[in-house]
Amino acid sequence: MQVSLYKSKVEGRARAPSSKSYTIRGLVCAALGEGRSEIVYPLISDDTNALSTVLGQVGASIQQQPDLWQVRGGSFHKPDGDLFCGDSAATLRFMTALCSLVPGRCCLTAGPSLSKRPVKPLVKALEQLGVDVSCQDELAPVVVNGGRLKGGVTEIAGNISSQFISALLFIAPLAEEGVEIRLTAPLQSKPYILMTMDCLRRFGVSVTSSPVLDNFRASRQSYRTAQYRVEGDWSSASYLLALGAVCGEVVVDNLNPQSLQGDKIILDFLRDMGALVDINDNAIRVRQSELKAIKADLSDCIDLLPTMAILAATASGVSQFIGINRARLKESNRVSALREGLTKMGVEVTEEKDRLTIVGSKVKGSAVDSRGDHRIAMALAVLGSAVGKTIINDAECVAKTFPDFWETLKSIGVKVAANE
């Protein structure tokens, strides 16, 4: 799908979609609990549907209604065929660990984008816990011969993907000997680990950690059933909040100001850049103002890089973002994708290994490529709404995390037209 955006003055109210990360974590914990759990206000998207399908193939029963998923877990069986994870990295990585509990052989396969993303560090960590698991070089497909998880001590770097550590945390309480996880490199994206531990607590599981989150321990214990309510997604909301900052005024509902989500820091970044931000319970209002450049470390909020890049493009001065190297291992190489897209729109961008420098410019509309990456598409859409005459290719990729994105933009005044 190709989308055309025209210069817009936005004004209105929108609801942030439910959190993808919390929906996925809730599904995993519910599938590990004996009995029936409820996921209230789940996000329905390509990624969450991928996990739901795979969990169903190994024995979890998931009955889906629009605002309520009923999950009956605790009893896994060997799947009839391969477990296709689509392009959902969380599905592949979390299920690689969960398949250690599934009796028999599981083969996890991936879509084109996910097939390029590493899984070997997780495979090595699972091997240390006694799991019979292998992958093709560094990548999917992954084969797990499960049914018995011995446990013990495992080591893994914390600066590749927090999803690897979360995957180990999910299965740690079910290991025969318990599990200790030692990080050999400092943890990045710490908020995602805190979210995982919070979800575990809600399902009755206790994990202890060191103060700096470089060591985790879980004794043998059972998951309880729970009613798990999913809060709004700060990552997806960042595009709507940015729209208010560059195109008018927007109120975004369904956001928890006390959330553990790392991308909540977008509020601080917007204020630092000069945007007008107001908080009223779970509603955030952002109004347009003259933006100024910012320097920020995105190590713990790497998914905000596309949003921050387009804000920097419209701001006065030179912005710098560090801690961005891991963004190269997402659905696309987001660092180079942003440099390419912003350069086409007249913005001066310098790309280094772990730094992106953006000179606030007079931005112009252009035809840009999302590279099939939902976050690149949504960020460039915000910039296109501010300057007009912008065309985004592969725009359907937003369905990965925010299926209603284009309709939501229309509802608050963005002039957008889609061509299949």
**How do the pLDDT tens digits run along the chain, 420 residues long?**
999 999 999 999 999 999 999 999 999 999 999 999 999 999 999 999 999 999 999 999 999 998 999 999 989 999 999 999 999 999 999 999 999 999 999 999 999 999 999 999 999 999 999 999 999 889 999 999 999 999 999 999 999 999 999 999 999 999 999 999 999 999 999 999 999 999 999 999 999 999 999 999 999 999 999 999 999 999 999 999 999 999 999 999 999 999 999 999 999 999 999 999 999 999 999 999 999 999 999 999 999 999 999 999 999 999 999 999 999 999 999 999 999 999 999 999 999 999 999 999 899 999 999 999 999 999 999 999 999 999 999 999 999 999 999 999 999 999 999 987
Using CA atoms, how far apart are residues 150 and 180, in angstroms rounded to an integer?
A: 12
Q: Rounded to 5, what percent of the chain is helix, strand, coil?
A: 40, 30, 35
For residue 400, tell me if it sits in a domain: yes
Quick one: which of 288, 302, 295 has its CA closest to 358? Answer: 295
The verdict on 202 and 343 lying in the same domain is no
- Which pLDDT score, from 0 to 100, does residue 208 have? 98
The verdict on 196 and 318 lying in the same domain is no
The verdict on 223 and 312 lying in the same domain is no
Using CA atoms, how far apart are residues 223 and 204, in angstroms rounded to an integer?
A: 6
Q: How many domains in the chain?
A: 2
For residue 206, tell me if it sits in a domain: yes
What percent of the chain stands above pLDDT 90? Answer: 98
- Which pLDDT score, from 0 to 100, does residue 107 have? 98
For residue 246, tell me if it sits in a domain: no
For residue 276, tell me if it sits in a domain: no
Tokens of 141: 């497909």
The verdict on 104 and 29 lying in the same domain is yes
For residue 245, tell me if it sits in a domain: no
- Which pLDDT score, from 0 to 100, does residue 156 have? 98
The verdict on 305 and 223 lying in the same domain is no
For residue 234, tell me if it sits in a domain: no
C-alpha dist (Å) from residue 20 to 16, 90, 192, 236, 340: 11, 10, 12, 9, 27
- Which pLDDT score, from 0 to 100, does residue 15 have? 98
Supply the CATH number for residue 123's domain.
3.65.10.10
Three-class SS state of 9: coil
Active site residue 303: yes
The residue from 303, 373, 394, 404 that is catalytic is: 303
Helices and strands, counts by H and E, the chain: 12, 24
- Which pLDDT score, from 0 to 100, does residue 419 have? 83
The verdict on 115 and 35 lying in the same domain is yes
Question: Strand 248-253 relative to strand 283-287: parallel, antiparallel, unpaired?
Answer: antiparallel
Q: Which residues contact 270 (CB under 8 A, 6 or more apart)?
A: 241, 242, 245, 277, 286, 311
For residue 161, tell me if it sits in a domain: yes
Tokens of 361: 């410019």
184: exposed, middle or buried (Cβ count in 10 Å: 0-12, 13-18, 19+): exposed
For residue 37, tell me if it sits in a domain: yes
Three-class SS state of 314: helix
Strand 295-297: give its sheet, edge to edge: 295-297, 318-322, 355-359, 348-351
Name the CA dihedral angle for 25, 156, 172, 89, rounded to a multiple of 10 degrees. 30
The verdict on 216 and 345 lying in the same domain is no
Which structural domain range is residue 376 located in? Answer: 2-9+258-265+290-419
